[in-house]
């Protein structure tokens, strides 16, 4: 997998909060009706402060729609994707990544 750092490719949506070389904490903000740029994550855990309706576009061309509730948590192995906010509310999440 070619790593595409979300902070570099989509800086208006991702903000680095803390990094120590092994781990980093990242804030994601995706306004209603917008999409980020295709990017990658290493192993990650995500906590959604404000959930919403999202379409996840996977690197293989497939997509999946999710209705994410506030406070929802998820865990992922390394992956590349793009997130589209197809709802009417902004999505905000905190990502914990193991680099």
Helix (H, G, I), strand (E, B) or coil at 40: strand
CA distance 8 to 12: 9
Q: Which residues pair with 6 in a beta bridge?
A: none
What is the pLDDT at residue 99?
87
Residues of the chain with pLDDT under 70: 1
pLDDT at residue 53 in the model: 98
Spatial distance between the Cα atoms of 70 and 54, rounded to a whole number of angstroms: 13
Q: Where are the domains of the chain?
A: 6-98
- Amino acid 29: pLDDT: 98
Q: Dihedral, CA atoms, 5, 6, 9, 15, nearest 10 degrees?
A: -120
Give residue 1's pLDDT.
63
Task: Let me know the angle formed at the C-alpha of 89 by 3 and 50, rounded to the nearest 5 degrees.
Answer: 65
Structure token pair of residue 31:
């306004």
CATH for 6-98 (2.40.50.140, 2.90.10.10, 3.30.710.10, 2.60.120.10) = 2.60.120.10
The CA dihedral of 54, 68, 2, 6, to the nearest 10 degrees, is 80
The DSSP letter of residue 42 is S
């Amino acid at each position: 997998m070619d790593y595409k750092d979300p902070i570099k490719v989509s800086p208006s949506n991702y903000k680095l909060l803390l990094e120590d070389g092994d781990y980093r904490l990242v804030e994601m903000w995706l306004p209603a009706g917008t999409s980020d740029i295709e990017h990658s994550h290493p192993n990650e855990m995500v906590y959604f402060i404000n959930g919403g309706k999202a379409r996840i576009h996977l690197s293989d061309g497939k997509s999946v729609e999710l209705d994410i509730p506030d406070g929802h948590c998820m865990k992922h192995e390394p992956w590349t994707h793009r997130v589209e906010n197809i709802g009417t509310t902004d999505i905000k999440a905190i990502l914990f990544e193991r680099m």
